[in-house]
C-alpha cells in the first residue's frame, strides 16, 4: 500500500486509508457521516446459503466497528454457471439478503463477473453522527480491552475444508460467524467508548497492533483471558492452521513480545485469521463494568471478555502475558 500514489486530500474524509481502519468515513453534514466498506472472499463452508450469511455478516461488521448502522449494500459476486448450477448462486444471494435484512438494511443491487472460483461479499454503506464515529485511533492509556466473540474461526474453517470438523463444531463456528455485531455496537454507543475495531483477517494480535499504532499507545493482552472456541486446540495440535494465520504471526515478529512459556501454537491462535469475528473495544476503566452489563443484556453478544489494557509503555507495540 505504501507504494500507491498519494491520494487527493478532502477534509470531509475524516477516516481514510492512513490508519488501516475498518471503513472510510465521509462527512455529509453536521449531523450525518457516511461509512463505506467492502469485503468478499471464497466459500469457507459447504452450504451456499450459510456462506452468503457469513459473507454478509463479515462485511456489515465494519460499519458496526465504526459505531454506525448499515443502510444499503451492493452484492459483489464471482461465479461461473459453467462450473456450478445457478441455484447455488441463488442460495448464496438469499443468505446474504436475509442477513442484510436482519441488520435493518437493504440490498440495492450489485455486480457479477464470470469467475470459475465462487466469490461473494458486499459493499456496505452506513451512517453515523460525525461526533460518534469510533475508530481504531482513539484508544487511551488506562482503557480496558473487551472482546465480543471467541477466537479460532480460521483454524476451524481450515479443519472444515480438510474434512476434520464434526457437525457440532461446524454448527458452533457458523453461529459465531453469522452473529451480527449489531448488539455489541449498540451497547458500546450507549455506554461511550474510546476506540473499536473488528477482528478479521489479521487476527486479534494484528488488529490490536493496528489499534496500538494508530492510537500511539501500548497494548497488553492476557492470553488466559482471551476466549477461544474449544475445538480450536484439537485442530491446532494437529497443525491445522490457515496460511493467513502463519503469515500474521510472521508479520508481527518485531511488533509483539510474548511472555516466556507462551507456545508457538498459542501465538498462532492469537494471530488466527478470522472471518466475521467480534469487536475489540477500548473502553475507559470506569465504564468497563457498565459496558459488560450492557453487552450481557443483549442477545446477540457471544462473549464479554476483558482481555487486556492500554498502557503508556512500549508505544505502538504489544505485550502478551499469561
Cross-strand partners of 113: 78
Residue tagged 454478509 (cell numbers): 56
Give every CB contact of residue 167 below 8 A, 6+ residues apart in sequence: none
Residue 14, all three cell numbers:
475524516
Residue tagged 492470553 (cell numbers): 223
Q: Which residues are annotated binding-site positions? A: 19-22, 39, 62, 110-112, 198
SS3 100: helix
Q: Which residues are annotated binding-site positions for ATP? A: 19-21, 39, 62, 110-112
Q: Which residues are annotated binding-site positions for Mg(2+)? A: 22, 62, 198
Residue 237, all three cell numbers:
495440535
122 contacts 106 by C-beta, under 8 angstroms: no
Exposed, middle or buried, 282 (CB in 10 Å: 0-12/13-18/19+)?
A: buried
Based on DSSP, count helices (H) and strands (E) in the chain, helices before strands: 10, 13
Q: Please give the DSSP secondary-structure letter assigned to residue 202.
A: T
Exposed, middle or buried, 249 (CB in 10 Å: 0-12/13-18/19+)?
A: buried
Amino acid at each position: 500500500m505504501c507504494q500507491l500514489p498519494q491520494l487527493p486530500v478532502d477534509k470531509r474524509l475524516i477516516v481514510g486509508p492512513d490508519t488501516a481502519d475498518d471503513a472510510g468515513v465521509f462527512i455529509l453534514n453536521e449531523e450525518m457521516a457516511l461509512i463505506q466498506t467492502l469485503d468478499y472472499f471464497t466459500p469457507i463452508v459447504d452450504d451456499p446459503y450459510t456462506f452468503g450469511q457469513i459473507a454478509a455478516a463479515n462485511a456489515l461488521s465494519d460499519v458496526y466497528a465504526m459505531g454506525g448502522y448499515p443502510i444499503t449494500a451492493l452484492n459483489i459476486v464471482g461465479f461461473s454457471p459453467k462450473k456450478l448450477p445457478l441455484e447455488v448462486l441463488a442460495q448464496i444471494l438469499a443468505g446474504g439478503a436475509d442477513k442484510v435484512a436482519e441488520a435493518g438494511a437493504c440490498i440495492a443491487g450489485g455486480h457479477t463477473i464470470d469467475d470459475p472460483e465462487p466469490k461473494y461479499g458486499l459493499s456496505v454503506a452506513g451512517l453515523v453522527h460525525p461526533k460518534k464515529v469510533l475508530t481504531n485511533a482513539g484508544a487511551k492509556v488506562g482503557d480496558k480491552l473487551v472482546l465480543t466473540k471467541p477466537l479460532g474461526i480460521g483454524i476451524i474453517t481450515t479443519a472444515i475444508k480438510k474434512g476434520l470438523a464434526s457437525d457440532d463444531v461446524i454448527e458452533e463456528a457458523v453461529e459465531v460467524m453469522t452473529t451480527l455485531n449489531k448488539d455489541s455496537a449498540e451497547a458500546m454507543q450507549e455506554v461511550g467508548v474510546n476506540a473499536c475495531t473488528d477482528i478479521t483477517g489479521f487476527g486479534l494480535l494484528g488488529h490490536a497492533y493496528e489499534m496500538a499504532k494508530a492510537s500511539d499507545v501500548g497494548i497488553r493482552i492476557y492470553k488466559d483471558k482471551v476466549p477461544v472456541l474449544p475445538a480450536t486446540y484439537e485442530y491446532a495440535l494437529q497443525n491445522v492452521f490457515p496460511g493467513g494465520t502463519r503469515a500474521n504471526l510472521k508479520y508481527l515478529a518485531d511488533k509483539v513480545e510474548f511472555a516466556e512459556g507462551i507456545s508457538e501454537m498459542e501465538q498462532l491462535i492469537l494471530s488466527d485469521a478470522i472471518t466475521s469475528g467480534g469487536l475489540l473495544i477500548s473502553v475507559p476503566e470506569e465504564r468497563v463494568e457498565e459496558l459488560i452489563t450492557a453487552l450481557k443484556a443483549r442477545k446477540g453478544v457471544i462473549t464479554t471478555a476483558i482481555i487486556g489494557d492500554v498502557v503508556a509503555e512500549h508505544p505502538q507495540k504489544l505485550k502478551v502475558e499469561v
